[in-house]
């Protein structure tokens, strides 16, 4: 008898105010492609006199403000502005700023971030730079013009020590991510009181113990399909937490050595995990920029749309033991049970949607936590506002051609807010449901 999926309306909303972080290392500072690389020649034998260094603004996109000290007012940043020690930047939605500290350092702050130039001095042919980032995402390039560098980027949860050439760090309410593309870097995790070192084309984050651990987390994917394993292999995998797609004790209900087939598993330690079933599962978040109507349909005298621009981020936590949160904005795009997060939509189209799905042959069942982050929601006047959204949960059997909607959720999220929903997916006769 075929098994269908149902998403039950066991709704739990938890609203928290936090900064949604876009930490896709493969697209580091994608919004800064308007910046030009510094291709000027360098002198590897150059010397530098003892002095206090000044920075200069070399690139601006969107809404960027600057103040030279905590006592000065915020003003609009402009190209060519000089930066003294204590200068501070803040960027708005879809904004970024680049500044240089001569002779060979370039710093880029991405959208919705703040950064402060704490120290920039040259002493004994050595350049010492100290930056403080309250939150946001920063890229730091050093071209090594012949003298030693001692550079640090400090954030609330980590300290990144830079002696190389190209690094980046991102910090916010969900933890930090640090990476390097050309050199060795040292980072200190203030939460775990742990120091880590990583090299070229590697990175670490708040949840990892080092670059190897993070690579393992990002590169491990086992959808739990046991069709190619015999009984001895299943027993081996079940006893190895690092390999087991269901750590915590999920076991084969047919026992070791049974006939290979797609089959559900029984949870042993996790009451929110009901097992795996054949099929495919899809979560879709959708919203409309300028909701209510668009300018095409607005009548004479109608007020402007409520929102001018909304950037929402979508994430799902599967109940399968060992699964991490996957999201359209996240470093984690896949999990052990086979979930895959789609692209993060930031282009401000009138209609936008983001998708997270399990393409089979099996999907986990149980209580899923589905989250919506109001990363950036502003009205036509540039003021923070809210954005209505819809979440559609769909499922289909492996033999079906199309997905069938089985659950609908409607809600509203404020700027810089997170809303979570509990959605229970079970294997039984399907009855579509709606949550308002």
The predicted-structure confidence for 378-395, as pLDDT tens digits, reads as follows: 887 778 888 999 999 999
pLDDT at 177: 60
Q: So what's the pLDDT on residue 62?
A: 84
Alpha-carbon gap, residue 371 to 418, rounded angstroms = 7
Written as one string, the DSSP assignment of 349-414 is -SEEEEEEEE-SSEEEEEEEEEEEEEEEEE-TTS-B-EEEEEEEEEEE-TT-SS-EEEEEEEEEEE
pLDDT value of residue 149 = 72
**pLDDT-based confidence at 169, cuts 50/70/90?**
low
Give 45's pLDDT tier (boundaries 50, 70, 90): low
Q: Which domains does the chain have, with CATH numbers?
A: 5-18+275-435 (no CATH), 25-172 (2.60.120)
Give the pLDDT mean for 12-39. 38
**Which distant-in-sequence residues (6+ apart) come within 8 Å of 156 by Cβ?**
134, 135, 171, 190
Residue 55 C-beta-side C-alpha neighbours within 13 Å: 31
Percentage of the chain exceeding pLDDT 70: 54
Highest-scoring range by mean pLDDT, 196-200, 277-281, 326-330: 277-281
> Residue 165: pLDDT band by 50, 70, 90 thresholds?
low
- Reported as a pLDDT band with limits 50, 70 and 90, residue 339 is very high
Predicted TM-score (pTM) of this structure: 0.44
CB count in 10 Å sphere of residue 167 = 27
Q: What is the predicted pLDDT for the residue at 429?
A: 43
Share of the chain above pLDDT 90, in %: 18
Rounded to the nearest integer, the mean pLDDT of the chain is 69
Q: What is the pLDDT of residue 36?
A: 47
Q: Which helix (H) or strand (E) holds 129?
A: strand 126-142
What is the pLDDT, as a whole number, of residue 310? 84
| Least confident stretch, 112-116, 144-148, 214-218, 306-310 | 214-218
Q: Are strands 51-52 and 14-16 parallel, antiparallel or unpaired?
A: unpaired
Could you report the per-residue pLDDT of 48-97, keeping only the tens digit for each? 778 888 899 998 888 899 999 989 999 999 999 999 889 999 988 778 89
Give the mean pLDDT of 108-131: 84
Structure confidence at residue 50 (pLDDT): 81
Confidence of residue 399 (pLDDT cuts 50, 70, 90): confident
For the ranges 272-286, 302-316, 415-429, the lowest mean pLDDT is seen at: 302-316
How far is the C-alpha of 284 from the C-alpha of 353, rounded, in Å?
7
Please confirm whether the linkage preceding 103 is cis (ω < 30° from 0). yes
For the cut 70, the answer to whether the pLDDT of residue 237 exceeds it is no
- What pLDDT, on a 0 to 100 scale, did the predictor assign at position 314? 93
**What pLDDT is recorded for position 151?**
76
**Rounded Cα distance, 121 and 335, in Å:** 45
Do 57 and 84 contact (CB within 8 A), yes or no? no
Residue 412 has what pLDDT? 93
Beta strands in 259-361 (DSSP E): 265-266, 273-278, 280-288, 309-317, 326-327, 339-341, 351-358
Listed residue (335, 79, 121, 301) closest to 218, CA to CA = 335
- What are 172-220's pLDDT values in tens digits? 544 556 555 555 555 555 554 455 554 444 444 444 555 555 555 555 4
Q: What is the mean pLDDT of residues 392-411?
A: 90
* Confidence category of residue 6, pLDDT binned at 50, 70, 90: low
């Amino acid at each position: 008898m075929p098994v269908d999926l149902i998403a039950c309306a066991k709704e739990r909303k938890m609203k928290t105010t936090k900064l949604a972080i876009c930490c896709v290392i493969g697209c580091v500072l994608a919004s800064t492609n308007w910046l030009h690389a510094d291709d000027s020649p360098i002198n590897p034998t150059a010397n530098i006199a003892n002095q206090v260094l000044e920075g200069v603004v070399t690139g601006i996109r969107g809404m960027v403000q600057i103040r030279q000290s905590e006592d000065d007012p915020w003003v609009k940043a402009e190209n060519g502005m000089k930066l003294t020690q204590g200068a501070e930047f803040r960027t708005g939605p879809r904004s970024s700023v680049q500044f240089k500290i001569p002779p060979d350092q370039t710093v880029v702050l991405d959208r919705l971030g703040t950064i402060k130039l704490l120290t920039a001095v040259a002493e004994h042919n050595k350049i010492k730079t100290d930056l403080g980032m309250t939150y946001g995402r920063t890229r730091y390039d050093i071209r090594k013009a012949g003298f030693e560098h001692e550079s640090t980027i400090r954030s609330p949860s980590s300290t990144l020590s830079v002696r190389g050439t190209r690094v980046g760090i991102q910090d916010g309410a969900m933890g930090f991510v640090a990476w390097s593309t050309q050199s060795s870097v040292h980072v200190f995790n203030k939460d775990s009181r742990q120091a880590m070192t990583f090299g070229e084309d590697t990175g670490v984050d708040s949840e990892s113990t080092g670059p190897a651990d993070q690579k393992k987390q990002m590169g491990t994917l086992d959808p739990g399909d046991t069709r190619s394993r015999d009984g001895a292999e299943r027993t081996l995998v079940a006893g190895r937490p690092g390999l087991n797609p269901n750590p915590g004790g999920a076991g084969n209900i047919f026992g070791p050595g049974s006939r290979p087939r797609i089959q559900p598993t029984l949870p042993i330690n996790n009451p929110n995990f009901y097992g795996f079933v054949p099929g495919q599962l899809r979560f879709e978040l959708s919203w409309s920029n300028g909701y209510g109507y668009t300018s095409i349909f607005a009548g004479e005298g109608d007020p402007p749309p409520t929102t001018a621009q909304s950037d929402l981020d979508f994430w799902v936590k599967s109940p399968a033991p060992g699964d991490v949160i996957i999201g359209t904005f996240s470093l984690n795009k896949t999990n052990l049970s086979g979930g895959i997060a789609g692209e993060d939509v930031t282009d401000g189209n009138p209609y936008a949607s983001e998708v997270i799905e399990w393409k089979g042959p099996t999907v986990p069942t149980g209580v899923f936590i589905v989250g919506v982050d109001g990363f950036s929601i502003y009205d036509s006047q540039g003021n923070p506002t809210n954005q209505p959204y819809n979440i559609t949960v769909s499922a289909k059997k492996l033999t079906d051609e199309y997905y069938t909607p089985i659950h609908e959720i409607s809600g509203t999220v404020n700027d810089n807010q997170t809303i979570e929903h509990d959605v229970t997916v079970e294997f039984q006769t399907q009855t579509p449901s709606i949550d308002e």
